[in-house]
Structure formats: structure tokens, C-alpha cells
Amino acid sequence: MIPEIFAYDFMIRAFAASGVVAVVAGTVGYVLVLRGQTFAGHALAHVAFAGATGAAWIGAAPLAGVLVFTVGAGTIMGLLGERLSGRDVVIGVVLALSLAFGILFLRLGNANAAQATSLLFGSVLAIAPATFGWLLALAVATLSVLAAMGRPLLFATLQPELAEARGVPVRAVGTVFLALVALTVAQSIQVVGVLLVFTLMVGPPAAAQLLTTRLGAGLALAAGLALAQAWLGIVVSYYTDWPTGFCIATLSALVYFAAVGLNRRNGRGRSATQSQPVPPIV
């Protein structure tokens, strides 16, 4: 007998869309945490908010605005290279400015509170078939490019000086990766919204890096945790009527703190950014 939760088309789409997005977010987020660029990823989420509201203001599709704004911002951040490194204040200002522009575009476009809430906290239960098609296409493109540049990306992440000496275009690799982060952010906000992007992109990868130092296992665990949290969050939301974003975010936090506890219990005492595996590069 099919469970009641799968009797509705919108629920099936919610599970499918969240599953696709979770796998991408967990995989890309693993490298994002490894590179110590989580704050830059959070800033891109706020840029996405401005892009979505700006597109809605001029009558375009919100997803199109998100893609244009985030990929553009990610590319610029990547091109800045080392000049952006450690500039948390600059990123913070961009983050706040993007959110402010988003609020302005909401006002100019006469958006209602429901539209603003869906952008800020996600609306996975309202994903249309056409939107799911776009999410699937973006997911395939993102993971394909990430796989193609995996070795030089990891080399540039863990041993940047040696990678540059070996001829790896470190800045170009970093720029392409931040563009992939931007695509992942664009997908993630469809599920958890602008304010909860860390829920899928940082929580599961950080927990995975606390639990294992093996690269392959870490990537698989990050994607698996993100997928499990997204699906379980939808189930809990369905039966409790609590917001889906809240359920997913709570599960993400619980899993991360559990990983911290296990890490300390085992006496390893390392942070997620310290548990860096060594890439198989000669």
C-alpha cells in the first residue's frame, strides 16, 4: 500500500526536487567547507535573494534572476582571488547590501508577504513541474563540471602553492568553483530558502568531515546526510504541519552537533575545516 504522503503529485515533486538539490548541495558543500569559503557561500545566498526579487519586479522568472545574479557575483568573487581572502567585512557588507536591495525590489514589485516568505525560507511543496526540470538540468551540469575539475580543484584547495608551481591555474579553478557554488545556491533556495542555505550546503558536509577523513567516503556521506535530512524534514513537516525549512534545518543542526560529540568522544578533537583528506595527486 502506498503511504498517504505519496498520494499527492506535489509531494512526489517535493521529494524528487529536494533529493536532487540535496545531493548537489552536499557534494559541492563538502568542497566549499574544505576550502573555508562558507561565508562567501552565504553571501551568494543573499545575492540570490536580490536576483529573485529583481527579476520578479521586472516580470521575469525569479529563477532566471537568481542564476544571473549569483553566477555573476560568484565569478567576480573568484576573479578577486587572494584579494578576497580574509575579507569577511567586505563579504558581510555585500551580504547586507544584497538583502537590502532584495527588500527594495519586493517593495517596488508590490510583492506580498507570502512571496517574500517563500524566497526567504523556501517553498519545496510548491515546486512546479517546469521548475523541477530546470533543477534537474542544473544539477546534472553542476555535478558534471565538478567531476571534470575534481583533481585540480582538490589540489588547489589543499596545496595551493604547490599546485600553482605545478602549473595548475589556481585562480581560474577557484573562479569556476564559485560559479558552481552559485548554481548550487540557486537550486538550494528553491528548497530551503535564502536564509537557510547553510542547512544543506554546510551542515551535512561539516558533519561528514568530522566523521571521516577519507575523501570518497566524505563526499558520499555529505550527500547522503543532506538527502536524508531533506526527505525526513519533508516527512516531519507533513505530519506536524511545521515549516519544511525549519524541520530540515533542525535535523541538520542535530546531526552536526551529534558529529561534534562523536568526534570529541573519539578524542580526535578536530574541526570540520581541519579534517582535510589528502588528494591522490602526485
- What CATH number does the domain containing 17 carry? 1.10.3470.10
Q: Has residue 49 been placed in a domain?
A: yes
Q: Which residue has the cell 519586479?
A: 57
Print the domain residue range for 178.
4-195
Q: Has residue 268 been placed in a domain?
A: no
Q: Has residue 53 been placed in a domain?
A: yes
Angle separating helix axes 203-211 and 215-240, nearest 10 degrees: 130
Q: Has residue 255 been placed in a domain?
A: no
Total domains, the chain: 1
pTM for this entry: 0.85
Q: Has residue 95 been placed in a domain?
A: yes
The DSSP secondary-structure symbol of 36 reads T
Task: Provide the pLDDT confidence category of residue 248 given band limits of 50, 70 and 90.
Answer: very high
**Each residue of 100-142: pLDDT tens digit?**
888 888 888 776 556 666 777 778 888 888 889 989 999 999 9
- Kindly state the greatest CA–CA separation across the chain: 61
**Each residue of 66-104: pLDDT tens digit?**
888 888 888 887 777 655 445 566 677 777 788 888 888
Q: Has residue 163 been placed in a domain?
A: yes
Spatial CB neighbours of 263, under 8 Å, sequence gap ≥ 6: 210, 211, 269, 270
Q: Has residue 206 been placed in a domain?
A: no
Q: Has residue 120 been placed in a domain?
A: yes
